[in-house]
Structure 1
Amino acid sequence: MATNDLDEDKLSAEEMLEGYKRQVHVELGFRFFKDPRVKASTFFLESERRILALLMVMTLCLLVYSALERRIRKGLQAQDPAFPDQEGNPTPRPTARGVFESFLGIHVLFTGKSRLVLNMKKGYQIISTVLGTRYDRLYASPPR
């Protein structure tokens, strides 16, 4: 580790080491850029402003993604249920990506004033309950 700021009053060696160790959480969030489904390599931006704007939007998306994942994990921890991971094994710490992918098969069919949620299974209801009544109304309950 190295720094250009040698003023110990601003940042002690212990604080610098702690910040370095927390860096892994940020790096894990950016690993999605390497996923072939993201297609980040297809962006061709020449303007520095556009590159910075894209970076800001992607960082904001990571923030929302991380906040949602944290909310799901805290909610599951409080209620003590588990959600199946990508291999089908129950886990109290699912990834947001795994939750997103599991919700891909759910469809909402609107017929006039009625609504029918298709392919909703018990595991999915756990997530909608953990996220709150707003989501629970969308996926589990009939509209009011």
Structure 2
Amino acid sequence: MLRGYKGQVQVERGFRYLKDPQLLADSLYLQSKRRIMASLMIMTLCLLVYSALEWRIREGLQAQDLAFPDQKGNPTQRPTARWVFERFLGIHVLFQGQKRLVLNMKDRHKPIITVLGERYAQLYASQPP
């Protein structure tokens, strides 16, 4: 029971994310109970996916002995998914006919792509196999 109680911090951290002003969740105005419940269900599902991605990144970094730079530039094996998302902003894909060029890829992105697997490596490759 104590382990379950202590595990609530993960859930609380997720709901703290929902309250963040950058999320703009407070700008939603829903009147019907049905729409409120649907919105909460979607947000909860998004938190689940967000947490699963964060767990997968952290487990993969530790298993492969890789690191990702934190906000101070120090290598860490426990980055938050939010920080990873922010570091991936600015990556663009340019299509020229049949060619695809991924712009703004840096070496700092490679550990995350490696951890996430071959499908992600293909998505972020300029010349997919």
TM-score (norm 2): 0.94
Runs of 4+ residues deviating >6 angstroms:
none
CA distance in 2, matches of 1:27, 1:78: 27
CA distance in 2, matches of 1:91, 1:18: 26
Q: Does 1:36 align with 2:36?
A: no
Letter in 1 for 2:85: F
Q: Does 1:134 align with 2:119?
A: yes
Counterpart residue number, 2:57: 72
- Residue-pair matches, total: 129
Tell which structure's C-alpha radius of gyration is larger: 1
CA distance in 1, matches of 2:74, 2:19: 25
CA distance in 1, matches of 2:112, 2:75: 13
Counterpart residue number, 1:103: 88
SS in 1 for 2:71: coil
- Per-residue Cα deviation, 1:52-106 (whole angstroms, up to 9, x for no partner): 1000000000000000000000110011111011222211100100110111011
Letter in 1 for 2:59: K
CA distance in 1, matches of 2:70, 2:90: 16
SS in 1 for 2:83: helix
CA distance in 1, matches of 2:55, 2:3: 21
